[in-house]
């Protein structure tokens, strides 16, 4: 996974996938969102807002999914995914049951990640 942005509070990483998928992690090892200080919470929401808006504008997805599970990685992080009716799992979550072979023709992920990096 490659990192596209970081500061003293958070970092943003790319999840390798057929769909646009970014993850926002806290820099500190915090297990639950409620344990974050207000500055960190605000920074997480600032990043989620920017990423979601840019995904909507750039990819025109059917839906944006934002998830925070942390069962395997007990560290505060959020997944932000642009979802398409033609992706392999839609309408299931990306962790769900495979529905079909993806038939996606999406604009450049690399260009998108650069746009997000500059906005953050």
**Which CATH number do you get for residue 97?**
3.30.428.10
Q: How confident is the model at residue 69 (pLDDT cuts 50, 70, 90)?
A: confident
Q: How many domains does the chain have?
A: 1
Range 22-59 burial, b when 16+ CB lie within 10 A, else e = bbbbbeeebeeeeebeeebeebbeebbebbbebbeebb
pTM, whole model, 2 decimals?
Answer: 0.94
Position 1 scores a pLDDT of 59
Calculate what percentage of the chain has a pLDDT beyond 90.
Answer: 93
Overall average pLDDT of the 36-59 stretch? 98
């Amino acid at each position: 996974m490659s990192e596209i942005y970081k500061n003293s509070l958070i970092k943003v990483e790319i999840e390798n996938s057929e769909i646009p998928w970014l993850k926002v992690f806290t820099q500190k090892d915090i297990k639950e969102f409620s344990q974050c200080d207000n500055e960190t919470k605000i920074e997480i929401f600032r990043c989620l807002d920017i990423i979601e808006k840019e995904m909507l504008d750039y990819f025109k997805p059917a839906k944006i999914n934002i998830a925070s599970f942390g069962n395997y990685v007990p560290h505060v992080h959020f997944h932000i995914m642009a979802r398409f009716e033609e992706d392999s799992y839609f309408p299931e979550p990306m962790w769900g049951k495979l529905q079909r072979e993806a038939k996606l023709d999406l604009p450049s992920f690399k260009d998108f990640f650069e746009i997000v990096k500059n906005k953050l």
